[in-house]
Amino acid sequence: MKPAAHTSKAIRLSVLVAGMAGLAVGFMAWQQVKLEYRSSLDDLSRRSRSIAFRASLTVKEALKHPDVEAARSLGTRLDGHSRLLGLAVYRPDGRLLSSGSAIDDYLGALTAPVTRALGTQAEVVEMTPAGDIQLHILVTPLRDEQGVIGGVLVALHDASYLDDRMTEGLVRGAFWILVITMLLMTVTAALTWTVYERPLRLLTGWMRRLRVENAADEPPPALPDSALATETDRLAASLRAARSSSWTVSSEAVQTDKAWTRERLRAHAIECLHGDQLIVVSNREPYMHQLKDGEPRAIVPASGVVTAMDPVLQACGGVWIAHGAGDADHETADAEGRLTVPPGDARYTLRRMWLTREEEAGYYYGFSNEGLWPLCHLVHERPVFRASDWEAYRLANRKFADAVLEETKGSRAMVLVQDYHLALVPQMLKASRPDLKVGIFWHIPWPNPEAFRTCPWRVEILQGMLGADLVGFHLQQHCNNFLDTVDRMLETRIDWDDFSVAAKAHKTLVRPFPISIQSWAERAMPGGEALQKQIADLKDRHGLEDTAIAVSVDRIDYTKGIPERLRAIERFFEQHPQHRGRITFVQLGAPSRTHIRRYRDFLTEIESLADEINWKLQTERWKPIRLLVSHHDAATVHAFLRMASVCVVSSLHDGMNLVAKEYVSAREDGDGVLVLSEFAGAARDLPDALIVNPYDTGEFSEALRQAVEMPPKERKERMGRMRAAVEERNIYRWAADLLTTLARTGKPSTLTAEASPRT
Ligand code: F6P
* 615-670 residue pLDDT tens: 999 999 999 999 999 999 999 999 999 999 999 999 999 999 999 999 999 999 99
Pick the last residue of a domain from 141, 165, 189: 165
Amino acid 242: pLDDT: 54
CA 633 to ligand 1 centroid distance, Å? 16
Q: Is 89 in the pocket of ligand 1 (CB under 6 A)?
A: no
Q: Is 443 in the pocket of ligand 1 (CB under 6 A)?
A: yes
Residues 286, 418: one domain? yes
Pick the last residue of a domain from 114, 141, 165: 165
Amino acid 204: pLDDT: 82
Domain count, the chain: 3
How confident is the model over 6-20, as a mean pLDDT? 78
Q: Is 560 in the pocket of ligand 1 (CB under 6 A)?
A: no
Residues 411, 506: one domain? yes
Residues 295, 425: one domain? yes
Q: Is 360 in the pocket of ligand 1 (CB under 6 A)?
A: no
For 103-107, 245-249, 499-503, 638-642, which range has the lowest pLDDT when averaged over its residues? 245-249
Pick the last residue of a domain from 121, 150, 165: 165
Which of 305, 365, 657 to mutate for ligand 1's pocket (most ligand atoms within 8 Å of CB)? 305
How confident is the model over 325-344, as a mean pLDDT? 95
Q: Is 137 in the pocket of ligand 1 (CB under 6 A)?
A: no
pLDDT at residue 4 tops 60: no
Atom of ligand 1 nearest to the CA of 421: 8
Atom of ligand 1 nearest to the CA of 284: 14
Amino acid 185: pLDDT: 87
Q: Is 593 in the pocket of ligand 1 (CB under 6 A)?
A: yes
Q: Is 305 in the pocket of ligand 1 (CB under 6 A)?
A: yes
Pick the residue whose CA is nearest to atom 11 on ligand 1. 303
Residues 290, 436: one domain? yes
For 39-53, 563-577, 646-660, which range has the lowest pLDDT when averaged over its residues? 39-53
In a domain, 605, yes or no: yes
Residues 108, 249: one domain? no
pLDDT at residue 89 tops 80: yes
Amino acid 240: pLDDT: 61
CA 628 to ligand 1 centroid distance, Å? 20
In a domain, 220, yes or no: no
| ∠ Cα 38 40 43 (to 5°) | 110
Residues 261, 406: one domain? yes
Amino acid 245: pLDDT: 39
CA 311 to ligand 1 centroid distance, Å? 17
Contact 101, 79 (CB under 8 A): yes
Separation of CA 619 from chain center: 55
Pick the residue whose CA is nearest to atom 9 on ligand 1. 303
- Give the residue from 681, 686, 750 showing the smallest Cα distance to 724: 686
Residues 140, 236: one domain? no
Residue, of 349 and 17, whose pLDDT is higher:
349
Integer angstrom CA distances of residue 260 from 54, 266, 278, 730, 744: 112, 10, 19, 7, 20
CATH code, domain carrying 45: 3.30.450.20
Residue, of 200 and 154, whose pLDDT is higher:
154
* 425-458 residue pLDDT tens: 999 999 999 999 999 999 999 999 999 999 999 9
For 179-193, 254-268, 300-314, 718-732, which range has the lowest pLDDT when averaged over its residues? 254-268
CA 592 to ligand 1 centroid distance, Å? 9
* 464-507 residue pLDDT tens: 999 999 999 999 999 999 999 999 999 999 999 999 999 988 99
> What is the C-alpha separation between 237 and 334, in angstroms, rounded?
16
CA 301 to ligand 1 centroid distance, Å? 9
| Residues whose CB falls within 8 Å of the CB of residue 279, separated by 6 or more in sequence, listed in order | 318, 319, 320, 321, 404, 407, 408, 413, 414, 415, 416
* 162-174 residue pLDDT tens: 988 899 989 988 8
CATH code, domain carrying 745: 3.40.50.2000
3-state helix, strand, coil in the chain (%, to 5): 50, 20, 30
In a domain, 194, yes or no: no
Amino acid 688: pLDDT: 98
> What is the C-alpha separation between 367 and 205, in angstroms, rounded?
48
In a domain, 188, yes or no: no
Residues 499, 541: one domain? no
Pick the residue whose CA is nearest to atom 13 on ligand 1. 303
Sort residue 272 into left (φ over 0), alpha (ψ -120 to 50) or beta.
Answer: alpha
CA 650 to ligand 1 centroid distance, Å? 17
Residues 312, 417: one domain? yes
Q: Is 306 in the pocket of ligand 1 (CB under 6 A)?
A: no
In a domain, 679, yes or no: yes
Q: What percent of the chain has pLDDT over 90?
A: 76
Q: Is 646 in the pocket of ligand 1 (CB under 6 A)?
A: no
Sign of CA dihedral 266, 267, 272, 276: positive
> What is the C-alpha separation between 517 and 603, in angstroms, rounded?
27
In a domain, 362, yes or no: no
Residue 272 CB coordination number (10 Å): 23
In terms of residue numbers, what domain contains 141? 36-165
Amino acid 244: pLDDT: 41
Residues 348, 453: one domain? yes
pLDDT at residue 395 tops 90: yes
Residue, of 391 and 57, whose pLDDT is higher:
391
> For residue 418, which phi and psi values (nearest 5 degrees)?
-115, 120
| Residues whose CB falls within 8 Å of the CB of residue 412, separated by 6 or more in sequence, listed in order | 275, 276, 277, 435, 436
Sort residue 274 into left (φ over 0), alpha (ψ -120 to 50) or beta.
Answer: left
pLDDT at residue 741 tops 80: yes
> What is the C-alpha separation between 181 and 193, in angstroms, rounded?
18
Q: Is 303 in the pocket of ligand 1 (CB under 6 A)?
A: yes
In a domain, 753, yes or no: yes
Q: What separation, in Å, do the N-terminal and C-terminal C-alpha atoms of the chain show?
A: 70
pLDDT at residue 747 tops 70: no
Residues 127, 240: one domain? no
Q: What percent of the chain has pLDDT over 70?
A: 93
Query: For residue 525, how many C-alpha atoms fall within 13 Å in the half-sphere facing its CB?
Result: 25
Amino acid 147: pLDDT: 87
Atom of ligand 1 nearest to the CA of 305: 2
Residues 723, 759: one domain? no
In a domain, 26, yes or no: no
Contact 690, 707 (CB under 8 A): yes
For 123-132, 192-201, 209-218, 747-756, which range has the lowest pLDDT when averaged over its residues? 747-756
> What is the C-alpha separation between 59 and 474, in angstroms, rounded?
121
* 701-738 residue pLDDT tens: 999 999 999 999 999 999 999 999 999 999 999 999 99
Contact 77, 58 (CB under 8 A): yes
Q: Is 304 in the pocket of ligand 1 (CB under 6 A)?
A: yes
